[in-house]
């Protein structure tokens, strides 16, 4: 006798048996649909990237944490566990998130847009650069990286024009990502033939300032960043952050760190001020130009958004990210000390325009996740 079959006359067991049987069938149907969707997405992504020559061919076996780390410098990023990517159907995007739709159109029509990552200092860019270079070797796109000590972030009109010409020539119409610490440059202003996609990642301004303060004095904990450290007297180098802020938070902030706003506002001198005008211009440019501006504090969802909107460049980025643990540990800022709450409150006031911008970007970031039905993961 089948022990799972209800005995005749026992109506309640019959009902339970039918419910279990129905739920089991439903479970297997949903599982089959999930598997079908997964492999369909994989097949379409491979189809889009097939036939693309790999500009880094022959380098794949050399792509490792050690080799890439030796060629780049940047900032620390929290060690966050991998979160798998969820692919969902798109929903209409509001005007404030329109660059997402533009990027989707370019990729859907098999165009290979130039991606601009004008990385903000002390916002996890060492890990992101490592990830982009590893993905470039795997997915077959170019990485054009301008990375040397004290790279020029502010350019004249002629220098901006030359930069655009040099980068577009290097890309040569192929799928490429250009990487540099650089205040925002409008590529379309200097070239009608290129319509790049802009991406970036920012960080809580208070934490960014603290990290930048100690990095300029002591570099990385691994001791391999002396060329990137700022020249200063010993009295200034060994001045504690709390002492600097206690004298004058406004002056300390102005002296020690460039504003995040300039990386989105532009090259003009007004963009280098912490002012309502620079704040508004930075917000306008984010809305108009940037497909994704992620946040360090939620890096897994930043990767998910990049994977979903730009699969040609970031497909399976979350999987490769788990290999970045060595990079993260090597790029910790040396001798960084978290200040007291009182000091942080003073910094919050001194960085009020950047705090406003950070909250604006953060809201937009989660709006994008919601628009695309990508699950928001809190931790």
Q: Following CA atoms 122, 125, 127, 128 in sequence, which dihedral angle do they give, to the nearest 10 degrees? A: 150
User: 66 is written with which tokens?
Assistant: 């050690």
| Vertex 211: Cα angle to 345 and 117 (nearest 5) | 115
Alpha helices in the chain (DSSP H): 11-49, 65-71, 98-108, 125-139, 157-171, 187-190, 205-218, 234-237, 241-247, 249-256, 262-265, 276-289, 299-309, 311-314, 317-321, 325-330, 341-350, 352-371
- Catalytic member of 34, 181, 183, 212: 181
Residue 197: beta bridge partners?
115
* 78 contacts: CB under 8 Å, gap ≥ 6: 296, 297, 299, 328
Closest CA to 313 of 149, 170, 116, 75: 116
User: 279 is written with which tokens?
Assistant: 């704040």
Give CA–CA dist 247/269, Å, rounded: 26
Give CA–CA dist 176/167, Å, rounded: 9
Whether 181 is a known active-site residue: answer: yes
CA distances in angstroms from 340 to 71, 251, 337, listed in the order given: 36, 19, 10
As a residue count, the chain comes to 379
What one-character DSSP code corresponds to residue 7? P
Give CA–CA dist 243/19, Å, rounded: 69
User: 357 is written with which tokens?
Assistant: 């911008």
Active site residues: 181
């Amino acid at each position: 006798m089948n022990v799972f079959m209800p005995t005749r006359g026992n109506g309640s067991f019959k009902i339970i048996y039918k419910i279990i049987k129905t739920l089991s069938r439903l479970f297997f149907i949903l599982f089959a649909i999930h598997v079908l969707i997964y492999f369909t997405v994989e097949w379409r992504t491979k189809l889009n990237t097939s036939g693309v020559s790999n500009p880094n061919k022959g380098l794949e076996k050399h792509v490792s944490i050690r080799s890439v780390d030796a060629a780049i410098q940047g900032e620390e990023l929290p060690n966050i566990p991998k979160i798998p990517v969820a692919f969902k159907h798109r929903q209409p995007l509001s005007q404030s998130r329109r660059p997402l739709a533009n990027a989707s159109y370019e990729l859907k029509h098999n165009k290979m847009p130039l991606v601009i990552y004008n990385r903000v200092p002390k916002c996890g860019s060492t890990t992101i650069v490592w990830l982009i270079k590893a993905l470039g070797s795997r997915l077959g796109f170019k990485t054009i990286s301008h990375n040397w000590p004290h790279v020029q972030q502010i350019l004249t009109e002629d220098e901006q024009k030359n930069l655009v010409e040099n980068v577009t020539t290097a890309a040569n119409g192929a799928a490429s990502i250009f990487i540099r610490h650089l205040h925002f440059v409008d590529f379309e202003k200097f070239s009608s033939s290129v319509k790049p996609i802009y991406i970036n990642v920012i960080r809580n301004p208070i934490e960014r300032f603290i990290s930048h303060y100690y990095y300029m004095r002591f570099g990385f904990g691994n001791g391999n960043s002396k060329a990137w450290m700022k020249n200063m007297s010993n009295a200034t180098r060994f001045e504690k952050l709390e002492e600097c802020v206690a004298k004058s938070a406004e002056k300390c902030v102005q002296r020690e760190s460039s504003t995040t706003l300039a990386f989105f506002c532009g090259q003009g001198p007004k963009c280098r001020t912490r002012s309502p005008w620079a704040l508004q211009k930075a917000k306008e440019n984010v809305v108009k130009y940037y497909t994704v501006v992620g946040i360090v504090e939620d890096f897994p969802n930043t990767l998910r958004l990049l994977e979903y909107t730009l699969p040609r460049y970031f497909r399976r980025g979350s999987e490769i990210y788990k290999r970045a643990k060595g990079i993260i540990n090597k790029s910790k800022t040396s001798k960084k000390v978290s200040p007291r709450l009182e000091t942080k409150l003073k910094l919050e006031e001194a960085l009020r325009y950047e705090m406003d911008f950070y909250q604006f970007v953060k809201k937009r970031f989660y709006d994008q996740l919601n628009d695309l039905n990508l699950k928001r993961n809190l931790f």
